[in-house]
Amino acid sequence: MRLTTKGRFAVTAMLDLALNEVDRPVTLAGISERQEISLSYLEQLFSRLRRNGLVKSVRGPGGGYRIAKPLDSISVSDIITAVDEQIDATQCGGNENCHDEHRCMTHDLWASLNVKILEYLSGVSLAELVASQKSGGKIVIPEPKRRERTPQAVAA
């Protein structure tokens, strides 16, 4: 799994912004201090978030950043992909060349895991993260559907 600090920090910073922008824009310095994320790193992340329409900047005294869309319309996957983070469990990066320049036997397994992870992260909104933080609760991860296992015939 290649979800690096870039994606994690972007989600954390967006959650901090959503929680703290009550009546005024939030400064990156404030997020940096609260979350212990480098200010220069946040500047890079917010540049990408702004280009992708997730945040808007407010200039001048009292300036900072605001969320650009309703919180329930921003998913965790939107945030992660906005900062160019790839969610990929394959060893080959989807190129199907990890086994002597050929596709490995488990490629479909890891590719389907990518789809499941993306589906899950697409289903968690920034509004849900805010509500979870405000209530002190946890985000509920839906239980995967279990497949019925049928007994296998034993060869005689």
Better-predicted residue by pLDDT, 145 or 7: 7
Q: How far is CA 97 from the centre of its chain?
A: 27
Q: Which of 25-34, 55-64, 145-154 has the lowest mean pLDDT?
A: 145-154
C-alpha atoms less than 13 angstroms from C-alpha of 123 in its C-beta half-sphere = 10
- In 36-74, where does DSSP find H-type helix? 39-51
**pLDDT at res. 95:** 66
Give the C-alpha separation, 76 to 66, whole Å.
17
Which residue ranges make up each domain of the chain? 5-89+122-135
Q: Is the pLDDT of residue 100 over 90?
A: no
138: pLDDT strictly greater than 60? yes
pLDDT in tens, 32-84: 999 999 999 999 999 999 999 999 999 988 899 999 999 999 999 999 999 97
* CATH number belonging to domain 5-89+122-135: 1.10.10.10
Is pLDDT above 90 for 143?
A: no
120 or 98, which is more confident? 120
Is the pLDDT score of 148 beyond 80? no
- pLDDT at residue 141 is higher than 60: no
Helix (H) or strand (E) holding 66: strand 64-67
Structure tokens at 107: 């490629």
- What is the model's pLDDT at position 139? 65
pLDDT confidence of residue 102: 67
Backbone angles phi and psi of 147, in degrees to 5: -80, 140
